[in-house]
Structure 1
Amino acid sequence: MSILSGSEILFKSETNVYLDRKYYADLTSQLEVSTRSSTVYVGNLIFDPEPTPEDLIHAHFSMAGPVDEIIMGINRNTKMPCGFCFVVYEDITSAREAVTMLNGTRLWKVDGSGHGIIRVELDPGFKSGRQFGRGSSGAQVRSDRLNNSSQKRRRDPEPPRDGSDHYGPPMTEKKKEKEEKGGGEEGGEKKEEESGDTKMETANADADADGDGDGDGDANPAKRRRVDDGAE
């Protein structure tokens, strides 16, 4: 859903807007109130290791119109800034100008270094208590989701890269063929050794065909005697 004001798109997508269920029953009613508000929500402010200075925020948003007040968002538990704020303008026109002009921009420090790219959207209006983060960590719900997603990616191992059921570097095709045939390199050496032993045993058997253990290989004693008699 997009809410239009002239040619301006004030909300690009419902999924990018946080529904404040404490004050509004549904997103549609919240968005309708927001279009009549002079307040904008600012997200993705740097807060670690040092929070974005309030005077820097004031100077940046004054480019869209006169700023009446800035309310810094703080961690509910630590009472420290946690990455968002509300900028209250003196009129509705300035708030709308801030959305179209400053959303997706970067805050710059005096020394020329830049902060993160900020998110600016119309807000239905500040109410006491909204300055506190509502996430489980005390910060914003959005921040908790991002942290949980990052931790999950670190915990889950990467899937096997070669389509097999083991983790680690892929095997070469040659090594994979050896393993499939059974034995791999070690098995090949063992088979070669066994083959050598078999050849040696066959040679010994031929050399000692008569079975007397002297290695003369004569398996026919009668024939040997006839040859000996002839020699005499």
Structure 2
Amino acid sequence: MSLLKINTVDRLDRPSAYYAGKQKRRRYNDREEDRDREREKEDELAKLQNATTLYVGNLSFYTTEEQIHELFAKCGEIKRLVMGLDRFEKTPCGFCFVEYYNHQDALDCLKYIGGTKLDERIIRTDLDPGFEEGRQYGRGKSGGQVRDEYREEYDPGRGGYGRAYDELRRAEEQYGSGR
């Protein structure tokens, strides 16, 4: 009788939810393209095997670089810290990239700091294959984070209501009061 080994702990150097979702969205029709897709997937996994950069999400818009540096420096020496900015207003929009000098420091950070609170918000950390210029800007239509645009609840740490929801709410108040 053979015993099946089951891992009870997730690997820390696995692809982030962002990269896994990105791969799911891509569709290929041709077998050759499927092989290219497999090679790309292997390349991304290989990049994460020695990744020294972390994506940090769910930050308050009011969190400063100094606060992030102080918290993340507990796991190792930080090489570079890049704050995520609103594409149009150039103000913080809730994420950043933290680059360490070695892979083990990044893994330690995932283990010990991911899921902790900073400015009363539970922060999310994922390994990232590396920061590239242009990724510091939000990808939403209004320049910030996509998920913040449609947030329906009031969140003072993320600028209040979501922008799209806030515009809809204001339009309803304007047209509702004009009757």
Tell whether the structures are fold-level matches, with TM greater than 0.5: yes
User: 2:49 maps to what in 1?
Assistant: 35
Secondary structure of 2:68's counterpart equals: helix
Deviations 1:127-174 (A, max 9, x none): 1111011111111223335457x94xx98xxxxxxxxxxxxxxxxxxx
- 2:58 is the counterpart of 1:58: no
TM-score norm. by structure 2 comes to: 0.64
Q: After superposition, where does 1:185-196 map in structure 2 within 5 Å?
A: none
In the alignment, the residues of structure 2 paired with residue 79 and residue 101 of structure 1 have an alpha-carbon distance, to the nearest angstrom, of 30
Q: 1:20 to 1:78 in 2, by over 3 A?
A: farther
Letter of the 2:99 partner, please give it.
V
Q: After superposition, where does 1:6-155 map in structure 2 within 5 Å?
A: 9-10=11-12, 16-18=17-19, 28=41, 29-47=43-61, 51-107=62-118, 114-146=119-151, 151=165
**CA displacement at 1:31 relative to structure 2:** 4.2
**CA displacement at 1:63 relative to structure 2:** 1.3
In the alignment, the residues of structure 1 paired with residue 48 and residue 144 of structure 2 have an alpha-carbon distance, to the nearest angstrom, of 23
In the alignment, the residues of structure 1 paired with residue 81 and residue 97 of structure 2 have an alpha-carbon distance, to the nearest angstrom, of 6
Q: For the pair shown, which has the larger CA radius of gyration, 1 or 2?
A: 1
Unaligned runs of 5+ in 1: 1-6, 108-113, 156-232
**CA displacement at 1:36 relative to structure 2:** 1.8
In the alignment, the residues of structure 2 paired with residue 141 and residue 10 of structure 1 have an alpha-carbon distance, to the nearest angstrom, of 26
Deviations 1:35-75 (A, max 9, x none): 3210000001100xxx2011110010011111111100000
By relative contact order (CA 8 Å, sep 6+), the higher-ranking structure is 2
Give percent identity, aligned residues only: 39
Secondary structure of 1:17's counterpart equals: helix
Q: CA RMSD in A?
A: 3.2
Letter of the 1:125 partner, please give it.
G
**CA displacement at 1:115 relative to structure 2:** 2.8
Q: Is the 8 A contact 1:74 1:131 kept in 2?
A: yes
